[in-house]
Structure 1
């Protein structure tokens, strides 16, 4: 059985590859080739640390994965998010490879946001507001810039030094003008697209500061106690797309709270797998919310493996 680390994967598998594979797996979902069990989330008692276990099989590609990922937000010497995925083929049941999955997790999430942004954001969107510059944020920016001609990126992080370090990293991959903001309000004001990637337990921006039209990608909150997007924005949204409806019912904190308040119903949301059926027409407020689902991990794991083997 082969083992591939993040460095090896990154050398052959990039955002355009992931976007293509995410689009393909959405077709597999629509064609009912995906069999997945809900992921198991175990919180480490007495800490903010979380372990996640995610199984899935694809009867078209004939591959199966079991992904294990840890999220340890206080890590300094080690990455906040670390993952490994066991890949098996479904002809003989052989375990063919183990792939380090920290990079692939970030990449697939960015690719999912790219697919949603491509369909929902204004075609002439040029200003991207970024709230949270932690582990998930970089590939989120790569996803958006892959599908829109972004000219200005506005960054906000509670720790300003981290925002400046993030700016330096982005300057290596984009010619957009990058501004470090002192407040979240400054970052979202005038933004055509907003990326949120935080572990916040309260809203990270105010509805009153949004321009129209605006598209919002929320990828940070993945527990019922977390929330990034305020309830008023959810209520006023013209279209809400969720990466996986059932997963979101259990993990998308701001939407769980909005449903409990009577401000939202999960029956109103559109799964990402159905986004191609939505008319591409101008809308005032659109939201994409991701909590993660194993078939997205399967897509990029198989895609990377095919290029590595």
Structure 2
């Protein structure tokens, strides 16, 4: 039966709050979806123009625009995220350092299916990317997790990584004792968790670094023989959490060449030519689909340099949208071509 043209002309845009994202973005669903996004990127079924920046040094911040389209065997998705990074926000405005808004669109016709708060979404998809890397690069029996930096991202790191490894013990390191106490209280019923030094955190089976530092804080001597590192904190030029010797000597996996050399963990030693392409073993998408021939993760230290990709955001948005449809979400804007 032919659809009524009037019905075809109407579409609805779902308005998705931060609370909606928190309630409907489950790590059990998100981690495999992010893995599928990396596979699509490697297989050439994703489009992701370079992240563009608007720098605002007068406010110690910046804006970033992140569009993407991706297609897997089972689904497709498209959209764009508009996100900021303002490190002074918590102290000056009682706002998060990172906030974002995402427009999730129907690739078939371009209609915006949803406009969603992307602050929680960014936190969770970042943790999920670390989980995907950990699943492929960490030793299978990894049971200890060190986290350096007890800010908001530390929570999603533990939430996501514990989905794919039997994490029992967590060591959290931060200069802010209040942050450490809040983190411990949030997870003490589920893990053996304690505060520790940078070295104590770094010696765990898995280490996630989630700080904004520009002077490296982790050396090769801090690490265990088989530590896998998720280097998540460096997201702008000049930031560096790991000493250059770590990324040079470890098996190094990146999320995207252009982004990591510009603003990822390797951006500083890359700009000073202390490392080059020979030091990069693979992109994560290559590892996921099994194309990383020059990526020996069976022994030694491994590093995942994550800058955060638009494909992660759009994949995460799809998880939220699908969950909301199943839950009968009904806060709508109605659009018409009339």
CA pair 115-59 structure 1, distance change in 2 beyond 3 A: closer
Q: Secondary structure at the match of 1:17?
A: helix
Would you say how many aligned residue pairs link Structure 1 and Structure 2? 303
Contact 1:81 1:135 in 2 (8 A): no
Contact 1:120/1:280 (8 A) holds in 2: no
The residue number in structure 2 matching 1:177 is 192
Quick one: structure 1 residues 186 and 281, their matched pair in 2 at CA, closer, same or farther if it must change by over 3 Å?
closer
How many Å separate the matches in 2 of 1:256 and 1:45?
Answer: 19
**1:249–1:266 Cα contact (<8 Å) kept:** no
* TM-score of the pair, normalised by structure 1: 0.92
Partner of 1:65: 79
1:296 maps onto 2:312 in alignment: yes
Pair 1:280–1:257, CA change in 2 (3 A): closer
Unaligned runs of 5+ in 2: 1-12, 326-338
Asked if structure 1 preserves the Cα contact closer than 8 Å seen for 2:53 and 2:65, the reply is yes
Greater Rg by CA: 2
Partner residue in 2 for 1:75? 89
- Cα shift at 1:72: 1.8
For residue 83 of structure 1, give the secondary structure of its aligned residue in structure 2.
strand
TM-score normalised per structure 2: 0.85
Query: Aligned runs of 1:269-288 on 2, under 5 Å?
Result: 269-276=281-288, 277=290, 278=292, 282-288=298-304
Paired with 1:151 and 1:93, the residues of 2 have a C-alpha distance of 45
Moved over 6 A (4+): none
User: 1:147 maps to what in 2?
Assistant: 164
5+ residue gaps, structure 1, are none
Q: Is the 8 A contact 2:266 2:305 kept in 1?
A: no
| TM-superposed deviation, 1:2 | 1.2
Kept after mapping to 1: 8 A contact 2:238/2:267: no
Task: State how 1:88-237 maps to structure 2 within 5 Å.
Answer: 88-171=105-188, 175-181=190-196, 183-188=197-202, 190-237=203-250
Shift of 1:32: 1.5
Residue correspondence of structure 1 range 254-265 to structure 2 within 5 A: 254-265=265-276
Query: How well do the aligned residues superpose, as a CA RMSD in angstroms?
Result: 1.7
Correspondence for 2:56: 44
Q: SS where residue 136 of structure 1 aligns? A: helix
